[in-house]
Each structure stands twice: as C-alpha cells, then as structure tokens.
Amino acid sequence: MTNRHHLFAGMLAMLPLMVGVLPFGLLFGTLAVNAGLTGWQGFGMSAIVFAGSAQFIGVTLLASGVSVPVLLATTLVINLRHVLYSASVQPGVQHWPRRWRWLLSFMLTDELFAVFNLRLQNHGGGADTRWFLLGNSIAMYGTWLASTVLGIVLGQQIPDLSHWGLEFAMVATFAAIVGTQLTQHSMVAAALAAGAGAMLLRGMPYKLDLILASLAGIVAGLLAERLPARTVTEVQP
Amino acid sequence: MTIWLILLAMGLITFALRASFVLPGDRLRLPPLFKRALRYVPVAVLTALIVPMALAPAGALMLDWRNPALAGMLAALLIARYTGRTLLAMLASFALYLLWLRLLA
C-alpha cells in the first residue's frame, strides 16, 4: 500500500464522524454571527481553536460580555480532557518526527482521537499510520471549516435566529452529549453535583460559578467511584 | 482586534493541552488520580453550563413542567442515555422544545 492509500483510508475512516460533526459546525457558524462575531471572526475561531464545545461556550460567553480571564479559564477547563487523549496516544507516537507530532497536537479533537487511537492500537505507530493521520486530519478539519462557513452564511441570511429558539440548541447539544455518558453511577453523581452547584452558586462574579460547580462535579464523581468498593470491603470480613 | 487576540489565546490553550504529552515525548507521565478526575470533566462542565439555562431560562427559577427548556433538556438527557445516539437526542429535544413553546405560548 502506498502513502496515498493510507491517506485515503484515513479520510474514509473519518466519514461517519464527519456526518455527525456537520450539524454542529453549521450550528456554530449560525450562533457565531448571531452572537455578534463577524463572519471572518467566526471562521477564524473554527480555524484557530478547532474545538467544538469550547467554541460554543466561547461565543455564548462573548455574547454575555464575560471577562477575558474567565473565558480563557473556561476554555482551559472544558478542553482539559484533551490532556487525557494526548497521554493515551503518546506511547504510539513518541518516536515520530517533530512535525508529525505538531500536526497531531493541533488535530487531536474528540472525533480524531476516537478514530486515530483505534488505528494506533490495531496497526501500531508506523509510517503508514502517519499518512492515515494526515487523512483523518484533512477530513475532519475540512468538514469543520466547511460546515462553519455554511453556518455563517445561513446565519447572515436569517438574522435574529434567537426568535427561532436557537439559543436552546446549545442546551440540547450538550444535554445529548452528557446523556450518553450517564451509564455509570459516578458520572450521574458528577452531573447531579455540577448541576446543583451551578444552581446554588448562580450569579457569582466572572462566571466563577461555572468553574466551581464543575469542580464540585469532578469531586463528586471521584467520591462516587469509591462507594461500591467500600461497601464490598465492609461486607467481606 | 481584541476578539482576534482572544481567539488566538483560546487556540494556544487548546493546542497546549493537546500537545501536553505528544510533543514532549516520553518524559511525562500522568498521575493516576488526575487521569481519573479528567474523565468527569466533560460531564461536569457541560452540566454546570446547561442546568441554569434550562431551570432558569429568563433569570428566575422556573421549576415547572411547562418550562420548555427544562422539558427539552430532560428529553435530550433521557434519549441519549437510553439510545446512545447524540444526534437523535439533540434533534428530538429541539423538536420537543419548539412544540412546548407553541403549545404553551
């Protein structure tokens, strides 16, 4: 198989996830112009940041006039999960030339991680996997940018989309993402604590409530992990 | 201009997090507790963000079945939980939200 074959295989492997990402890019572009960004700024955000949930939150916070440090702190917290992805793929790529690791570092979204990590596990981190990654990257980045542009054009055609209830689209999107994770009781505990915390702390300055409620959720999840283990040891003597 | 600087900073933060282990190579190891904590980040942050938007859409608490945002959020959570399909849950939730708005307006 030539490099070109691996590149195409990489693009093809990304296809199902591209279909899933398309509506989110469309929605992001639409929300960005309705939140007051120019078309170029909305496109620039997709091109520079390239992280769906952080971008959604970013435009929402920008529109609500939040301070810059809080916006950046929120970006940091919401994207912390990428550290986990970075650590997971590290053993397979640590011998790669630097420029390929730079490419991977920029492209390591949730979707790319899912596809690329599977490839690493099944085929290892040889030169063919580098071309596979390039295929993944072109497909994902291209889809994200193209769907953002479509969304921006759509948003400019139909002004005042908030009348269409589009601000709820973010709630629907994030609730759907959270819902798929709620299969473990520790995740449910994390969600309940974060939600309750957000309600109780509502209205704190600089949106600090968001950060504190998130931390409460993480701690609750970690504590809930220990619950069943503890009951077992108590029963066992 | 400020917007572009903010975008650049957001991009740098995101890149730094993704590069954290890939770029330094084999010199870094993640502490196990940190690794476990990271698993809860998406659920915790996203829930903290949407719950106030759904429970108090206009600023005041609206703990009421007639609240369209609350009905829509619960629908998305439940459908996603039991089908595992993100896009289906999102679309159904949005449809329910619009229906609620029309019916109860």
Q: Looking at the structure, do residues B25 and B42 belong to the same domain, yes or no? A: no
- Residue A186: domain span: 182-235
What count of residues does chain B have?
A: 105
Number of domains in chain A: 2
Spell out which residues of chain A touch residue B52, defining contact as CB-CB under 8 Å: 198-199, 202
At A162-184, the pLDDT tens digits run 556 667 877 888 899 899 999 99
CA distance B25 to B21: 6
Q: Looking at the structure, do residues B3 and B53 belong to the same domain, yes or no? A: no
Pick from A132, A164, A196: which residue ends a domain?
A: A164
Sign of CA dihedral A155, A171, A61, A76: negative
Is position A170 within any domain? no
Pick from A134, A164, A194: which residue ends a domain?
A: A164
Q: Looking at the structure, do residues A20 and A108 belong to the same domain, yes or no? A: yes
Is position A128 within any domain? yes
Q: Looking at the structure, do residues A126 and A226 belong to the same domain, yes or no? A: no
- Tell which of B15, B29, B34, B40 to mutate to test the A interface (max A CBs under 10 Å): B40
Q: Looking at the structure, do residues A139 and A107 belong to the same domain, yes or no? A: yes
B66 vs A: CB within 8 A: no
- Residue B91: domain span: 34-104
User: Which structure tokens are listed for A76?
Assistant: 């940091």
CA distance A34 to A45: 14
Contact check, Cβ <8 Å, A86/B17: yes
Q: Looking at the structure, do residues B22 and B44 belong to the same domain, yes or no? A: no
Q: Looking at the structure, do residues A124 and A208 belong to the same domain, yes or no? A: no
Q: Looking at the structure, do residues A160 and A211 belong to the same domain, yes or no? A: no
User: Which structure tokens are listed for A69?
Assistant: 């440090």
Q: How far is CA A222 from the centre of its chain?
A: 21
Q: How far does A128 lie from chain B, in Å, by closest CA?
A: 18
Question: What are the backbone angles phi and psi of residue A146, rounded to the nearest 5°?
Answer: -65, -45
Q: What is the ipTM of this complex?
A: 0.87
At A212-233, the pLDDT tens digits run 998 999 999 999 998 865 444 4
Number of domains in chain B: 2
At A44-56, the pLDDT tens digits run 999 999 998 899 8
Contact check, Cβ <8 Å, A45/B15: no
User: Which structure tokens are listed for B38?
Assistant: 């990271």
CA distance B37 to A43: 33
Q: Which amino acid is at B1?
A: M
Q: Looking at the structure, do residues A148 and A193 belong to the same domain, yes or no? A: no
% of chain A exceeding 90 in pLDDT: 53
The CA–CA distances, whole Å, from A121 to A88, A91, A114, A115 equal 10, 10, 11, 10
Q: Looking at the structure, do residues B25 and B51 belong to the same domain, yes or no? A: no
Q: Looking at the structure, do residues B71 and B100 belong to the same domain, yes or no? A: yes
